[in-house]
Copies of this chain bind each other. A is one copy, B any other.
Amino acid sequence: MAGKIIDGKFIAKKIREELASGVSSFKEKTGRAPRIDVILVGDNPASHVYVGMKEKAAAEIGIKSVKHEFPSITEKDLIELVKKLKNDREVNGILVQLPLPKDINEENVLSAITAEKDVDGFLAENLGWLCRGKERLQSCTPLGVMKMLEHESVEIEGKHAVVIGRSNIVGKPMMLMLLNKNATVTVCHSRTKDLASHTKTADILVAAAGVPEMVKANMVKDGAVVIDVGTTKVDGKLKGDVDFEGVKERTSLITPVPGGVGPMTIAMLMYNTLQAAKKQEGI
């Protein structure tokens, strides 16, 4: 059985189109566009690329994005800015591009964002609501995975979902989202013994460990749905956590890297911004 390849680019495009229509309707009702403010500190080249992609996506959909860029800034001034944006009714979403320079405590800065404007879904409060099954703003990458599964009509309830990786922004919210959809969920990580014994029983396998091609064909159950969140640069090429060529023969559905989960993340950031704006405006 050769797995159908899930086309993340196509799904993300469809979502962006739906969002553009949602943004239009928001503008009609409120007379203004939803707005996301993006804070970028330092000269990390990848961060500059990501922020550029976010600005482009926002522009396409009709969301207003405002960039606050600093070659350097003190933690105190950065927190002041976040607080100002938090109290500005025109601002619907606040995104602090990570990583921040090492002399700034990320936790202190992120804590200054209010949960209502936390469009990255990183704050403890939003993660806690997700844990309680009351979804507020949710982490973009795992939310994108859920939208992909929904788009492909993957049945989640009663299935065994195995997540490899337990980061605060992917693995853990992923586990909670799958649990909220009534999957039986197992979380594996670097300390897991005999990883294959777990992955081999997975109906849905999400690899988010950041270890290139660690998931091999003999670790996957026949007919599984395999989602690859990994993106590691190896010799200038983007590699996923899944040995795609070997594994795809065993799956019913599989995401490629690139062109799988990747394009969904920014689409979900835009989704969160529109959701936040609508909630703040009570519509």
Contacts and interface: CB of A to CB of B under 8 A. Distances in A.
Interface of A: 123-129, 131-134, 157-158, 160, 166, 168, 172, 176, 179, 182, 184-189, 191-193, 197-198, 201
Contacts of A133: 168
Number of copies of this chain in the oligomer? 2
Contact of A131 (B168, B182, B197): B168
Contacts of A158: 191-193
Contact of A184 (B127, B182, B186, B201): B186
B197 A189 contact: no
A197 B191 contact: no
A179 B166 contact: yes
27 contacts: A123-B128, A124-B126, A124-B128, A124-B129, A124-B131, A124-B132, A125-B125, A125-B128, A126-B128, A128-B129, A128-B131, A131-B131, A131-B172, A133-B168, A158-B191, A158-B192, A158-B193, A179-B187, A182-B191, A184-B186, A184-B187, A184-B191, A184-B198, A185-B186, A185-B187, A186-B186, A197-B201
Contacts of A193: 158, 160, 184
Nearest to A157: B191
Contact of A127 (B132, B186, B188): B132
A56 to B, nearest CB: 31
Nearest to A191: B182
A198 B162 CA distance: 12
A156 to B, nearest CB: 10
> Closest 4 interchain pairs by CB?
A128-B128, A124-B128, A127-B128, A186-B186
A184 B179 contact: no
A197 to B, nearest CB: 7
Contacts of A124: 125-126, 128-129, 131-132, 134
Contacts of A187: 179, 184-186
Between A124, A134, A182, the greatest number of chain B beta carbons within 10 A of the residue's beta carbon is seen for A124
Contact of A132 (B134, B168, B184): B168
A188 B192 contact: no
A191 B182 CA distance: 6
